[in-house]
Structures are given as C-alpha cells and as structure tokens.
Structure 1
Amino acid sequence: MTVPSGELAAARAILVVGGTGFIGNAVLRALSRTDGVDRDRMPRLHALSRRACAAAGIPGVRHVTGDLTDRRSLRGVCSGIDTVVHTASYVGRDPQRCEAVNGEGTRALLDEARRAGVRRFLYVSTASVYGTGPHRGPGEGQVGPAPASPASASRLCAEEEVRAEGGTVLRPHLVYGEGDRWLVPVVARLLRLVPAWPAGEGARSSVIEVGDLARVVAALVHSPWVPDGGRTYHVADPRPLPMERLLAEVRSVLRLPAPRRVSAADHRELVRRSLPGFTDHQYALLTQDHWYDTAAIWRDTGIDPGPGFQERFTACSPWYREQLDRAVGD
C-alpha cells in the first residue's frame, strides 16, 4: 500500500489527544505545516489535555479539556472529528493509574470516537510492549509481546482495543529531541552518577527524533488511504543506532570524559547502588540490542526517513544542554 504522490485527503478536523505532551505537541506542529498541503484541505486542529492551556503557541489550534480517567469529561470531544491521534499515556509504575489512563482511558476515547463516526484512529504506543530483549531486527508480528512493566502491559491492552476497532498502532522505541524528559535525561543522570560502561560489543537500538515520528503521523493522517484495519507499524530510523554513539553525544553535551570500562556484572551493580530505582528492564533497554525492522512504515507512507541521528541530535543539542545544565543547577 503506497501513498500516491501529491495526493492528500481532505480532513474535517483532527483531535490530538495529549497534544501538549512531548510527542503530541510535535504531531500538532507537523500537522500545522502547510508544505505540500492545499490550504483548502488544511484540517482544523484540536488538542485534548487535562488542563486548559495554549497548545505550546501553535496558531490555530483549539484546546479541548478532557481527562482520560473521567469518561464524563470526554463526552462530545470527538464530535465533528475525522481523525483521532492518541499520544497520551502514563508511563509510571502505579498499576492502577496505568490501567486508568492507558487501558480504560483508551477504551473511553474509542467509545467516543465510535459514537462520533471518526474515520481513522492512530495510537502511538511503544516497542517496549515486546519486553526485554535482545531483539535484533524482527518485523511486525515476528516476535510476541512480553511487557515487563505495568505501563507497557496496559499500553499493550490499549493497542488491542485500538486494533479491534480498526485503528492503526505505531510502535516507536526510543524517542529523542526537544521536549524529551526520559531518554537523554536518564542517560545523562546515569553517566554523571556512574562514570563507567560495560566493556565489549555495544548494543544497538531503534531510535527516532520526535519530529520525524511526527512526520510519520502527519503522513498517515493526510494520506488518501486508511491502513488495513488493525495494522501495527514499527516506527524508527531504519538505521539502528549504536548506543556508544548516543553515549558519546550525551557526554559531549555534558562535557564529560569517556567512561571507564568495567564488566557487565560490575556495571549493573554500580547502577543498582547509585540508582536503586532503575529497573532491570530500563537497564536492558540501554545495554542490550533492541532494534526492529521499520521498512513497512517508510514504504507505506512514502516519506524519507530523514538524515539520521547525527544531524538530528546535533540540531537539538543546544536545547539538551540548556535543560541538563538547569537540572544540575536545581
């Protein structure tokens, strides 16, 4: 299935759930761009979040207040909406809140979408539903989910609900870029507290810059076709990233020397002592192979994956430096 060149579907309105968050805001920005889109076909953009606020200064975006944990607050939010892009999630460790936001919240949103006759529903999930690897290049459907946390388990349940309604699921793995509060900040904290790294052949991971992820979402939203009901896509740069390169870039931002090399067992013990809340699953995500075949999404959207990690990370390094320096100052 390929998007015909130059063809874009007219949309009545798009609702971005979690539109003020890291991924949701990038999606709104991508959807608000007019490049290659006939102005007469530009959609009306709505951003749903719990608190009334401007959608990070994006002109023309209408804010809608609603809480995924409160069904009553969602009544009517999909009225007149053609496409829902669901980017909201809770990634903490409270199992009840995971179910309330990711599980029941997604079901409530799907109920509203069904009532309103929404044409397409896109859910941004995570490749963490596969659990701890190593994973070395499986395509969609070639490895079974084995979530290792309440957050991933509840997001897997949400995926199943979305696919059952004919929606499309996107599974990025590690996402970086302006607004990132998890990947690079966690790596930075790790390098500051534990100036060491396991010796031996380094891991590779699937990564994507948040703007490139947003471009994928925008391409699916604007395309004249709706992916086959229940479709799941891996979404990442097609070139797996050696984690050594990520470490080197983060060290450069932090102005840190190269870490000393220790055995894997010694490194894990050092991390346990310095970061006792760092789970085995989180540790594995940074130290084991977790990369996936992403050919399908780039083929079906027909867009270019972009220049890759080095250029993208260089562009956002000043933002990371400001944020990480501020964190040290606080």
Structure 2
Amino acid sequence: MNQFASGPVLLTGGSGFIGSHVRRLLQSRGTPVRVLAHHADADSDEVVWGNLADPASLRGICAGVTTVVHTASVINGSEEACRTVNERGTAALVAEARRAGVRRLVYVSTAAVYGDGVHQGIAENAVAPAPVSPTSRSRLMAESSVLAAGGTVLRPMFVYGAGDRWFVPAVAELARRLSARLAGGRARLSLISVHALAEAVCAVAQLPTARLEGATLHAAHPAPTTLAEILDVLVEEALVPTLADEIGYEQAVAELGQGMSRRLGLLGFDHYYDSARLWQAVDVSAGPGFLETYPHCAQWYREVISAALPKPASGPHAVHRPGPVR
C-alpha cells in the first residue's frame, strides 16, 4: 500500500546521541513520539518502559504506532552484550512491530559493517560486509532482521556534532598521542552531522511505505572530508598541538600498540561511501560539510576535549581514552 507513515512513532535510543536529535526533530514537527526507555531520565510525549535486553519487556510496545525508528545500539561492549541488545533485541523489536502491523521500520546501523580495507566511494554492498568488531557484527545481524521485515537500514560512518563523544574526541586524542598527522592526514572519510542524519532518518520514516522497502542506504555528506581538514580545525582551536610531522600507519601501530590498529586503520585510510541513493530518495539535503558546520558545535568539542586533557595541577595523569570510533 502506498501510505504515508506519518502517525505515531516509537523511537529507541531516544536519549542517545543520534536518537535525541531524531526525537527533538520529530517533536518539533508535531509528530507524536513514544520513546522506549529502561531508565527514568527519558523525556518525551510518551514513554514506554522496556529493555532490548529483555524481549519479554517489549510485548505490546508497538501497539498504536505506524512507524518504528530504531537508533539504540550497544557501541562498546562485549560480544555477548552486543548480541543481546543489537542482534537479539532488534529481532524481538521487529517481531513486535510486525505483530502490531507497523508500516515503516527504520534502523540506524553503521558503514563499519564493511570491516577493514580501503573504501573509496563504494555504493551500498559493492563489497561484501565483513565486520570485525562485536558492535559491527551484531549490528549487521540486526540489519538482517530489519530488512527481512521490509524495513530500511541507514549506514552512516562517522557522525559528529553536539553530543559526539566518540569521533572528533578520538581524532583529537590520537593526534595528541602521536604528535603527528596520521598518514599525512590524506585519508578521505565519510562524515555526516548529527543534525543532517536526523533529518534523513525522519525523512525516510515519513516516506510512503512502498518506497525504500527492504533498502540499505549509506548516510553521509556527498563530499568526503580529509583527516587533515579535521586536524587543521582542532589545531586552530588549540585542542591539539601544531602537527608538523606525519607518521605512517605501521609506525603508529608500533607506537600505540595493536589494540589501536582498528581505530588507526579507520582514520588512516580512505573510508568514504556513495550516499547518492539516500539524498535522491528524500526531500532534504545533506547540508553544508564539516568545515561549515563545525562552528555550530565548536563549544561542545572545546568542553569535551578539554575535559579529557591531563590536569597539570594534579600531577601526571593518563589521557582519557574515549570509546572506539566504531
């Protein structure tokens, strides 16, 4: 049926980085939003209590909604924690949505499901997904449940903006620890502002249900951003020191250890994706790129990154290490 999924929305992850922006945008447009919550600080038109780690608690949560927007994920957890929430929790949520006759299901996944390698402007599934982390493996399995139900999957890579504690802070931390530009900063990366991603999620959620059924879409700004462009901004903001030297990937791994190889690989080599299909399908644009958008979230990053710096008055301390980029 060619119906618009414009009625009440059930939103998971409504207090998280991406989900909170989606929630505010939907509410600003007068869309009734029901937030799935398992703690007491949720704020919405309506809260429904449940936990993706407990499928029985999800029973009935989709009654009366036309759309489910699923942004909740365990990002930095053990294999079992990720499978419990991301894989099995998503499967249980999808089952509830199907039981309730939900017309539109949108899941925010990650382009990190493609795994390692140099990715240069590839289209959706132009290379076979080969996830290497518990987060990405379980999110790929979550995608399978959503797609089997006719839902739509969005795959952003690096998301930035107010609320980001993982991407730009991780870039700053690596730059400080290496005191050099990783691979000269030449890597081209797929970025999207959290505001643009929220716009895209809401647009997909409110498309006619016959469109994008069972589709997987990259979600990124059409023009990749180089690591050097990000580093230049951070240097200008005095959040990292001037970086006159460059360091290769292998040497960086040798200095920081194998535990950092995944993060160094993601930032040291090209990882950008063709997102034309998304922007052609929705009536919104990706907006300006990172350099134009950064000033709007500069204060957020000043506070978050500065708070992670060592405190000289308290003696030597290890630099705070934010969670993995993906």
Compute the TM-score of the two structures, normalised by the length of structure 1.
0.88
Unaligned ranges ≥5, structure 1: 35-41
Matched residues in 2 for 1:199 and 1:119: separation?
46
Matched residues in 2 for 1:83 and 1:121: separation?
6
Q: Name the counterpart of 2:226.
A: 242
Shift of 1:200: 4.7
Q: Name the counterpart of 1:39.
A: none
Q: Return closer, same or farther for 1:184/1:174 CA change in 2, 3 Å cut-off.
A: same
Q: Name the counterpart of 2:22.
A: 27
Q: Which residue identity does 1:133 align to in structure 2?
A: G
Q: Which residue identity does 2:20 align to in structure 1?
A: N
Of 280, 283, 303, 2:264 maps to 283
| SS of alignment partner, residue 84 of structure 1 | strand
Of 40, 44, 57, 2:32 maps to 44
Contact conserved, 1:13 with 1:44, CA < 8 A, in 2? yes
Q: Say whether residues 1:305 and 2:286 are aligned partners.
A: yes
Q: Name the counterpart of 2:153.
A: 169
Q: Which residue identity does 2:74 align to in structure 1?
A: Y
Deviation readout 1:168-214 (Å, 9 max, x if unpaired): 00000000111111101111221222212244571101110001000
Alignment of 1:156-305 (within 5 A): 156-200=140-184, 202-253=186-237, 254=239, 256-272=241-257, 277-278=259-260, 280-305=261-286
Identity of aligned residues (%): 43
Deviation readout 1:32-80 (Å, 9 max, x if unpaired): 223xxxxxxx32111112212233xxxx532222110011211111111
Shift of 1:303: 1.6
Matched residues in 2 for 1:26 and 1:200: separation?
33
Q: Name the counterpart of 1:78.
A: 62
| SS of alignment partner, residue 136 of structure 1 | strand
Q: Name the counterpart of 2:89.
A: 105
Shift of 1:140: 1.2
Q: Name the counterpart of 1:324.
A: 305
Deviation readout 1:71-92 (Å, 9 max, x if unpaired): 1211111111110000011122
Matched residues in 2 for 1:235 and 1:10: separation?
20
Moved over 3 A (4+): 198-201
Shift of 1:309: 1.1
Give the count of matched residue pairs: 309
| SS of alignment partner, residue 137 of structure 1 | strand
Contact conserved, 1:197 with 1:267, CA < 8 A, in 2? no
Matched residues in 2 for 1:199 and 1:326: separation?
27
Matched residues in 2 for 1:10 and 1:130: separation?
30
Contact conserved, 1:52 with 1:64, CA < 8 A, in 2? no
Q: Return closer, same or farther for 1:97/1:199 CA change in 2, 3 Å cut-off.
A: closer
Deviation readout 1:197-253 (Å, 9 max, x if unpaired): 244571101110001000001111223344242100000000011111111122333
